[in-house]
Chains A and B, each alone.
Chain A
Amino acid sequence: MPEPLLSIKDLVVEFATEDGVVKAVDGVSWEIYPGEVLGIVGESGSGKSVSTLSLLGLIPQPPGRVVHGEAIFKGRDLIKLKKRELRSIRGRDMAMIFQDPMTSLNPVHTIGYQLAEAVKTHFPHKKDDEVEQQVLGLMKAVGIPHAERRYRQYPHEFSGGMRQRAMIAMAISNDPALLIADEPTTALDVTIQAQILEVLKLAQKETHAATVLITHDLGLIAEMADRVLVMYAGKVVESGDVHTIFRAPRHPYTIGLMDSLPRLTQEEDWLRPIPGQPPSLINRPPGCPFHPRCFLSQGRTRCREEEPPLRSIAQGHLTACHFAEELEGRASHFAPLDSVEATAG
């Protein structure tokens, strides 16, 4: 096993709200290896964004607070780093791609200026024309045509897809070791999503950066991720490599997520949502946080009283369900599985 690039242990992040303390991330551990794409899925509010943003010191503090845990990146604990040290890592060793390209670029500066700034923040002594050449190269690499003209244009002259390309170019500009993509395609329309997916893959291949892909789009996960982490109510409920998770999910929540998507292979009148709502993070249900919505639980007292630990049920496959074994043999009907198998075969 190679050394993990980033290894998170027992991370707890809390937010102080008027109604009480919210544990947005509750004892999450994971690691990512060089060159790997780790997909994190979950509903809104499951803590998938907060668990990564907090590493970079990008959650508002207060009210947010990393209460506990460590995050070892290249031998240093990110949680313990000083603000200044963390800043020198942000954008250089660890870069982010944000959800909404329409608002993530500053309207008063040209695209070229903003890309150049991303480089110059970390290499202030680089010559201007050298930086410009580098930026033009990046713009071409992510598929922005007429880079020389586009360099001098403002964000409002860019379409959504082109802006997201610019954001990706900005993220990879300093050749980061870790790329964090927080719902990179959510704000784009479907045809553009496919293009951006290609750019992301390309960027990942070019830079060999390990990538954390945060999304609730299972299709995107199936297309890009090597390993998947499923989060629910601030906890990891299942993790494993992408084939295992899609072909043999062993947590009722994962199965519910996949079943909620419409299948393309058969006529369907209704979607099958997971019943109920995600739990309030202030008033967690006792025991397994998923039990009020779970088809396996069905009033079993163990689900209500005992919180299931994340346990290994197969090589590299972890799940947090007392009765995971009962799911044996249950295949998922998830549509993109075909494409996974196609690429795998």
Chain B
Amino acid sequence: MTAAVAGGGIVSPPGPASEEVFEAGLEIKARSQWAYARRRFLRHRLAVGSLVVITLIFLAGAFAGQVAPYRYDQLDLTNLYHAPTTTAHHFFGTDELGRDYFSRVIYGIRTSETVGLFVAALSTVIGVLIGALAGYYGGWIDNVLMRLTDLVLTLPALAILLTFSALYGSGNKWRIAIILALFFWTGLARIVRGVFLSLREKEYVEAAKAAGAGDLRIMLRHMLPNSIGPIVVNATLTVGQAILVEAALAFLGLGIQPPTPALGALVFDGQDNPQAWWLTIFPGLTVVLIVLCVNFVGDGLRDALDPTQRRIRA
């Protein structure tokens, strides 16, 4: 009898209705939550546009060796401080050593995206782990983990980041990334804890317990998939934030050391010579563009993955 319901508002044919509806392919196609989410995301034009742009930028960074017209440390001493031009592919001009800034920006993107993605991945793992344990078990475990989170949140992040990167991080993007990740997990841990706290009371969790499922299975199979929305959104936004903070560190002269280009360091180098405006504008704009796009994608995901939201914002 529900088979007929699955046929939607279609007038049932006479006879054993349901079978015929199925055979005629009249039933409404079943859509999973993911299909709905994809549709909602695709209707969010700004997010889709941003996703295309960010994909292109990240691909350019990933294949910097193939995309960039020059190596990042290649000198062209006949063209010092050359303004942006299409001749010799100096799209973003050259610096005081005649290095092609377009190539350096692309290599800088590579550094930034590596740091951004790695920080997002590592901080998500830490945040989910801590938030999940705190939310699921509650009690003293929750207390210990949340006080730890509060502690990390109250630390003066910039000062510590500066100290840490000065002591341990300089010159190596992986070390910078790990240090950043150790600061970025707190927000997600709180979010995941909150989601798990509410999921713990759900009846399907109780039903799973009654069916004999263990703690790990309930957390991984029942609770984690139901909290995937906020986790994905948070991870996306973390990519942008991490790139921004890494750029800020590089601008302050810490973090990745020359000659490896980093976007923040490129802006820093450029400020010595205000006449050569292209040396600050282009890497600066690139950072802004990346972070903006990442945030728009995050917004789109937030709307798409929220199952209570059926309306689509243009």
Chain A contact residues, CB within 8 Å of chain B: 56, 58, 87-92, 95-96, 98, 100, 103-109, 117-118, 121-122, 145-146, 149, 152-154, 157-159, 161-162, 167, 170
Contacts and interface: CB of A to CB of B under 8 A. Distances in A.
Contact of A106 (B18, B214, B226): B226
A158 B5 CA distance: 10
Q: Which of under 10, 10 to 19, 20 to 34, or 35 or more describes the interface residues of B? A: 20 to 34
A160 B22 CA distance: 21
A137 to B, nearest CB: 18
B203 A146 contact: no
A88 B30 CA distance: 35
Contacts of B30: 152-154, 157
Contacts of B212: 87-92, 118, 121-122
B221 interface: yes
Interface in B16-39: 18, 22, 30, 32-33
Contacts of A90: 209-212
Interface in B276-298: none
Nearest to B27: A149
In the A-B complex, list the 6 residue pairs whose CB atoms are closest, starting with the nearest: A91-B212, A91-B211, A96-B210, A90-B212, A108-B225, A103-B203
A195 to B, nearest CB: 9
Nearest to B307: A107
B226 A108 contact: yes
B202 A103 contact: yes
B204 A104 contact: yes
A104 B214 contact: no
Contacts of B22: 146, 149
B217 A121 contact: yes
Given A90-B211, A146-B22, A154 B33 contact: yes
A98 B203 contact: yes
B206 interface: yes
B2 to A, nearest CB: 5
Contact of A58 (B6, B204, B209): B209
28 contacts: A56-B210, A58-B206, A58-B209, A58-B210, A90-B210, A90-B212, A91-B210, A96-B211, A98-B207, A100-B203, A105-B207, A106-B225, A107-B204, A107-B307, A108-B225, A108-B226, A108-B228, A109-B222, A109-B225, A117-B211, A121-B217, A145-B2, A146-B3, A152-B30, A154-B30, A157-B6, A159-B2, A170-B211
Contacts of B5: 159
Nearest to B204: A106
A141 B23 CA distance: 24
A88 to B, nearest CB: 7
A316 to B, nearest CB: 31
Contacts of A109: 221-222, 225
Nearest to B210: A96
B208 interface: yes
Contacts of A100: 203
B252 interface: no
Interface of B is mostly: helix
A127 to B, nearest CB: 19
A196 to B, nearest CB: 13
Interface of B: 1-3, 5-6, 18, 22, 30, 32-33, 202-204, 206-214, 217, 221-222, 225-226, 228, 307
B32 A167 contact: no
B21 to A, nearest CB: 11
A95 B221 CA distance: 20
A143 to B, nearest CB: 10
Contact of A145 (B3, B204, B210): B3
Given A154-B33, A157-B30, A158-B2, A105 B213 contact: no
A106 B208 contact: yes
Nearest to A170: B211
Nearest to B18: A145
B85 to A, nearest CB: 54
Given A95-B210, A106-B226, 11 more contacts: A56-B210, A90-B209, A91-B210, A106-B204, A121-B212, A149-B22, A157-B30, A158-B2, A159-B5, A170-B207, A170-B211
A119 to B, nearest CB: 9
B61 to A, nearest CB: 34
A158 B30 CA distance: 11
Contacts of B307: 107
B207 A104 contact: yes
B211 to A, nearest CB: 4
Contacts of B217: 121
Contacts of A154: 30, 32-33
Nearest to A89: B212
Contact of B204 (A88, A103, A152, A161): A103
Contact of B33 (A98, A108, A152): A108
A108 B8 CA distance: 22
Given A103-B202, A154-B32, A159-B5, A121 B210 contact: no
Contacts of A105: 204, 207
Given A145-B18, A146-B3, A107 B226 contact: yes
Contacts of B203: 98, 100, 103-104
B231 to A, nearest CB: 13
A158 B225 CA distance: 20
A173 to B, nearest CB: 9
A111 B275 CA distance: 67
Contacts of B206: 58, 98, 104
A105 B207 CA distance: 8
Given A106-B222, A108-B33, A121 B213 contact: yes
Contacts of B1: 145
